[in-house]
Amino acid sequence: MNDGPVSTFQFLGLTFSTANVVSGLVVFLLVVAIVFFTSRHLAMKPTKGQNFLEWLIEFTNGILKGSIPSNEVSGFGLYGFTLFLFLFLSNQLGLFIQLTFHNATIVRSPTSDPIVTLTFSLMTLMLAQFAGVQKLGYKKHFTNYLKPFVFWLPISIFEEFTNFLTLGLRIFGVIFSGEMLLKLIWGLATSHGIATMIVAVPIEMVWQGFSAFLGAIQAFVFVTLSSVYISQKLEVEE
Amino acid sequence: MLSHLVVGSALYFGDSLFYAICFLLLLWIVKVLAWKPVTKMMQDRADKISSDIDSAEKSRTEAAGLVEQRQTALNASRGEAQTIVQNAKTNGQQQRDQIMAQAQTDAQTLKANAQKDIAQEREDALAGARNDVADLSIEIASKIIQRELNADDQKALIDSYIEGLGKHHES
């Protein structure tokens, strides 16, 4: 029950992982389906689906409002909402569906791969840079790196790099370890027949529930930190 | 287990590109499908609620004004009714007093007239009686003078006179 060999394929000179592409598409379709089916009959008096969608939008907007000034939130609301939904479903996907085909994993949590999480981390930091330049202009944006004094520049640049790494690796670590432990417990369950099965299945269920909780927390933390990084670029440091 | 993390095995950076494109596409789809209409609906609702609150506040103050108006009108009409009743009472009192006084004076006048009439009547009667007595005395005197009379004659005479008197009075 260990990780099978990573099945990859070449396309346009780039290497793709089958598991990531397939799971990514599954999450993509899930997000589209949720958004599509909850937004069908929009009315002034919201019904079930619309209530849920509006609650979710209020929730992610609330996360953003925690750090971004409220008059700027509207520009990042869509990003925060989509990011939260995508990461949340990605985190949960591997807990319930793990498909293996020809001894290689095809469907698992996309966020249990550091390349995927670092892609999202990079996207957030690029958005932060872009928003900073758009709001303050090139000059003010880049002189922020020289605050509080000129010699701070290496530390500022290093901070960008560590932000990129920690933002991506935090969510990866939690989801990856959660899935690995699930696999280990499952390996224990199937090692000695019925006897270990009885012991291990409740543990597996408990860990699954805990991982679902952790996945939600990590999606929340990722969006929160994204909004913090974006808000840092929106103001001139003193 | 960590084989795909080891540098040297084929790293699949294509996934980065794939996820970036997927996410951008997802952003666009979510925006078109849900974000725009739902946020617009939420904004509309917020506007409607605030306008509802404003109009409720307005109608509340209007209602309060109306209540005040009605209260003052009610008080005014109550006062008016009271004055009307008061006026009617005093008018009635006055009228009664007037009528009573009128009746009193009328009765007084009637009584005075009656007394005057009675006095007149008595006066007239006394005057008549006095005249009669005078005539009678003169007649008696003339009769006595005309002839001498005995007691019987005298008596007959007096009786005849008295008879005559009664006749006279009767007539």
Report DSSP letters for B113-152, one per residue: HHHHHHHHHHHHHHHHHHHHHHHHHHHHHHHHHH----HH
Question: Which residue of A53, A55, A88, A223 to mutate against B (max B Cβ within 10 Å)?
Answer: A53
d(CA A41, CA A51) in angstroms, rounded, equals 11
CB B42 within 8 A of CB A57: yes
Question: What is the span of the domain harbouring residue B160?
Answer: 49-170
Question: Which residue of B2, B7, B18 to mutate against A (max A Cβ within 10 Å)?
Answer: B18
Give the residue from A140, A86, A133 showing the smallest Cα distance to A110: A86
CB A61 within 8 A of CB A80: yes
Q: Which of A18-32, A38-52, A178-192, B110-124 comes out lowest in average pLDDT?
A: A38-52
Confidence of residue B39 (pLDDT cuts 50, 70, 90): confident
Confidence of residue B113 (pLDDT cuts 50, 70, 90): very high
Neighbouring CB atoms inside 10 A of B28's CB total 13
Q: At what angle do helices A48-65 and A18-38 cross, to 10 degrees?
A: 120
Q: Over chain A, what is the mean pLDDT?
A: 81
Residue A2 has pLDDT above 50, yes or no: no
Q: Is residue B16 part of a domain?
A: no
Distance set, CA A225 to CA A64, A91, A133, A222 (Å): 9, 17, 19, 5
B1, B5, B11 member nearest A15 (Cβ): B11
Distance of CA A215 to the CA centre of its chain: 9
Domain count, chain B: 1
A6, A16, A78 member nearest B30 (Cβ): A78
Residue A1 has pLDDT above 50, yes or no: no
B52-56: long-range contacts, CB 8 A cutoff, minimum separation 24:
none
* CA-atom Rg of chain A in angstroms: 21
B12, B38, B44 member nearest A57 (Cβ): B38
For residue B170, the model assigns a pLDDT of 59
For residue A7, the model assigns a pLDDT of 67
Chain B: closest CA distance from residue A74 (Å) = 10
**Three-state secondary structure readout of chain A:** CCCCCCCEEEECCEEEEHHHHHHHHHHHHHHHHHHHHHCCCCCCCCCHHHHHHHHHHHHHHHHHHCCCCCCCHHHHHHHHHHHHHHHHHHHHHHHHCCEEECCEEEECCHHHCHHHHHHHHHHHHHHHHHHHHHHHHHHHHHHHHHCCCHHHHHHHHHHHHHHHHHHHHHHHHHHHHHHHHHHHHHHHHCCCCHHHHHHHHHHHHHHHHHHHHHHHHHHHHHHHHHHHHHHHHHCCCC
CB spacing of A123 vs B27 below 8 angstroms = no
For residue B73, the model assigns a pLDDT of 95
Q: Summarize pLDDT for B74-94 with one digit per residue, the tens.
A: 999 999 999 999 999 999 999
Residues of chain A positioned with their CB less than 8 A from the CB of B21: none
Q: Summarize pLDDT for A18-34 with one digit per residue, the tens.
A: 777 888 888 888 888 88
d(CA A62, CA A114) in angstroms, rounded, equals 28
Neighbouring CB atoms inside 10 A of A89's CB total 21
For residue B96, the model assigns a pLDDT of 94
